Structure formats: structure tokens, C-alpha cells
Amino acid sequence: GGIVIDADTGTVIYGKNIHQTYFPASITKILTALLVIENCDLDETVTFSQNAVYNVESGSSNMSMETGDQLSVRDCLYGLMLQSANEVANALAEHVAGSMEEFAVMMNEKAASLGCVDSNFANPSGLNNPDHYTSAYDMALIARLAYTNDKFQSLIQEPVYVIEKTNKKEEPIELIQQHKMYMDSEYTYEGCKGGKTGFTS
């Protein structure tokens, strides 16, 4: 499935299976980031719970956070979008909504408000869940709104971001942009504004 839309008008320029449902993997984090930006001050402090840190698939993308670690919302958003850190997605969800389950409710409400009809979001990260799916069309609606947000744009266009230290870690955490269409690679696309990649097994 795939889609190209005009971001100004919403006109579909190209589409393939645009209403077929698929597992979105980490592009889910576009919606997560948007909700966090809309509901938080970037200087708020996020504390990582044991549930946030360990409720992830083994071997999935992470930032090696520990229970009790504290970061600003800003630092977390860069970890979410550049590192695709799943425990960070969990911690942000808990920070915004009190639990990942309540955050999923917010995700579905937001998606519905944008006109999404093919989606059901079950977690903030996009980790595998049979009840977590969307379509190319719905993701285009979500991304279209995200790209109008200046804070979101600054997130996805940063090549490198350094978290100096946490309350539990003295060593800096360097986050490097992984979007191959945006950075210098064989897939570089001139005019790309950044974004989010994702894959499933």
C-alpha cells in the first residue's frame, strides 16, 4: 500500500491499496509525537516507569532507559523520532494520559477527528499487535496534520541530537537521524522534509 497526497489540499495524487489495512510499525510514532506536542510543554519532565521500560519486544529499538530515568519531553521526542525508541514511546504515553491504554484511546479519537476510518491504534510505539493497524490513506491524513506543526518539523529535520545526561546516566546519548531519504544515502530524495520510517518482522 502506498499514497502520495498534496499536503495543502489533501488531493490524492497517487494511490495503491490506500484503504487496505496494514501494521504500521514505527510510523505510528508520527501520531504519538503529534499528540505529545499538542498536550505537553517541551520542558516537562518524563519519569520512566518499570512498565514503560520493560513492556517492549526483545531486541526492538530502544534508548537503554532504566526505571526511574528522567528526561524532558523535548529529549524524549527526539529519542522517539530519531532513535525510534519504544520505551520512550511508552513513557511519553504514560506521561500524557496516565497509561498506554488511555493514550491509545486518545490516538483513536485524534485519528477519527481527522477522518481516519481504516485504523485502530493499540499502543504508542507500533510494536506488533493484531489490533494495531492503519491504512496508507489514514497515515497520510495524520502526517498531513503533523507536517503543519512547527515543533514536529524541527524534530524530524534534526540530523543529530545529543541528550547531555540523565539523572541516572553521566554519559551523553547521541541520537542520529535514520531516515535514508532525508540523510545522505543511496535513497536521498532532494526536497524530503524528513519523516519516520518503520518495519515489522
Catalytic site positions:
26, 29, 84
Helices 100-113 and 86-97, packing angle to 10 deg? 80
- SS3 category, 163: strand
Query: Which residue in 105, 42, 98, 36 sits closest to 73, CA to CA?
Result: 42
Alpha-carbon gap, residue 80 to 73, rounded angstroms: 10
